[in-house]
Structure 1
Amino acid sequence: MSVLAAPPARAASSSPYRWVILILSWLAFTMTSVDRSTWGPASASVGESLGVALGGLGVFVTAYYIGYVVSNAAGGFLTDWIGARNILAGSLFVAGGFMILFGSTHSAGIGIAFQAVVGLFAGADYSAGVKLITGWFAEKDRGLAMGVYMTATSLGTMIANAIVPSLIEASGWRTSYHAFGAVSMVVAVLCFLLVRPATAAEPEAAGVKRAPLPDLRPLARNRDLLILGLAGFGGLWGTYGFITWSNTLMIKGNDIEPVTAGLVVSIFAFAAVLCKPLIGLVTDLIGRGRRIPTMGVLLFFVIALLVFGGMSTPAGFLVVAPFLGIGAYLYSPLMTAMIPGLSGGRLAGSAAGATNAVWQLGSVIVPVVIGAVFSATGSFYAAFLALAVGPLVGAVLMFFVREKRPSHAADPEGTTTEKKTEAPA
């Protein structure tokens, strides 16, 4: 299939088609988020069906995130090398296929393997989307664009928790995996047909026969990207630890009905869907950097986790849920919008993949840790204390990031005029 001609870089940043690119990137990322979040409300039913004890359910999530971390690290590099469209569409299509296979398995061992493969392909679309947004949106508009893009993670959680419990009651947990896997494959085909590169220099652009391998040495020496990665590790420790265990902890630890627990997590995610674009727009308009707001959100997240952990009734969980959603998600678009400024546009895919790989290590470790804490103590609050440690460490680490504040005249590649602001010693 011939590739649509790529516009010049500056034309891309003002073209109306950039909103089509954003919507498609967001839609793909939303579907992988839905696929990932399906496990939370479905886990208890899957465990009963496959004969897995409560304490062993975290192994499925850890298997998924091992694959997810690997695909983030490799997917960013491949995005810069063979093109964002190919990675966005191809990875989502295969992940959707293995979602369907997971919904058909009757073996715990094979199910764990399928989860690992889903994660192995699902993780690559994040960096592909960041690369596309970096190319199609100038720095002065990137906070809003990243805010919209990152609503995918919270929207995926909201959709899964709103739909999966009812699907389980009506037809069993397997239907959820079959349905979401099929939709993922359809979205992948749309992305392949409609996404086009931002510049003529991109690997997929007409006339580009073979792109050179990206030189990753500047990223390996980038102190600030490393710290940003470690801070995100702490944030996602809290976020995905909550997403993975919140339904089961509310059901097993406080006798909350499954549909009510799903409603709590849906409200948690819906608050973030509303607020992510808003915080991106506000930081764009203020133009004074994203480091300090990120620290504030992470500290707010710590407080919200501790308050939520002290609740014991459906009403209490429902009241705290939107505040917890704001804390659990609003740091991510701010961190993501910082990446191209720290890495430069040419390595934006590799930088996004590498930092997200470090972030997602928190997602790999935390399900098993929280499962062990709850199994050992039987305490709902102890589990939330363990979750709160992550964002607290993340807030401290963000203090040491030296943020680059590009001028509003910066080009879409994110490589022009920049003012570097040192963090306080």
Structure 2
Amino acid sequence: MSVIPGAWRRTAAGAGLLASDGGVAPTIFAEMSGLAARTGAINLGQGFPDEDGPAEVLEAARAAIANGANQYPPGRGVPDLLAAISEHQERFYGLHVDPATEVIVTAGATEALTATLLALIDGPGDEVVVFEPYYDSYAAAAALAGAKLVTVPLRAPDFQPDRDQLAAAVSDRTRIILVNDPHNPTGAVFGPDVLADIVRLAHRHDAVIVTDEVYEHLSFRSPHTPIATLPGAAERTLTISSAGKTFSTTGWKIGWVHGPAALITAVLTVKQYLTYVNGSPFQPAVAVGLRLPDSSFAEAAATLERKHAILGDGLRAAGFTVHAPQGGYFTVADATALGGTDAAAFCRALPERAGVAAIPLSAFVSEGRRGDYTGLVRFAACKRVEVLEEAARRLSALDA
């Protein structure tokens, strides 16, 4: 007899959290990282940097620990970080955020997203519209909240949504339109017409817009535009971001969500029963990071863009067709010319074949749409230059 409650079992199975034997299903990230470790392959699968972020930010964390910031912080977050988030949104985007009522600090963007969906989904009739491919936690969070996931496909080469398909996906059953921009895994940045459509559809169907903007400072071709800055959007938008990607501190798990006070209160009601609070000494350090000069943010984006160029050149030389990203950590490449019509099988063989690990894009799409993404592979560019150069050298053997 199973000790897992039936309702949880059904929800977990629907979200792909359970294996066929009832155990916990390993993610594709764990599988590929395990392959990389066993074979000595360079891991370009998981999106974490292999070098530290700004020295000022790291030193601020050390100082906070030394000065006793090691116990529970306030439930909404350390006041100085709340103030820094508010200052940051005003400084970069002209958004006015009340640090006392309109922002909370979370255990990374993933907790912010999960708490938001759990707080705002009313029941099984509610729908969450997402752009597909999508980060894997979106489906899990929607399933845990009891919502139906409705997807809008993004297709190569530009990975922009069809606006008619977007309009058809949003209905009066839509509770949340979830937008990841810059987008993981495709590296797309949505155009102004798409953003305007999202706001218009949210008003028409009384939906809440939830944005995942963790790559906000890693947009290459143009400055990031938060949806909350568009006319009529702020009143129904919850904006999520985090320190992990911007400051190369993914292990700290310091994120935040801001928006209208009533919506933030609902999210806080759930969040307090998830992690309660987190990362006490890291919160003042992130406040330091958010107050770094503009040049620090610009250099972070420029450095990552250069790394994408190194990776992209290596992939092209190896025989891939590369879809250059507009932002974020990842480059998507088509392996069809290298025999990679089945991207999952290609990625499982790649560590032994070339000494590099990557992730099939099909891991980020629903089962019924995987055929639309055959051959597409995601590579992480957020590694040291010498690592990317060595990966390119190893991949060159594929075209030999």
TM-score of the superposed pair, with normalisation by structure 1: 0.28
Higher helix share: 1
Higher relative contact order (CA 8 A, sep 6+): 1
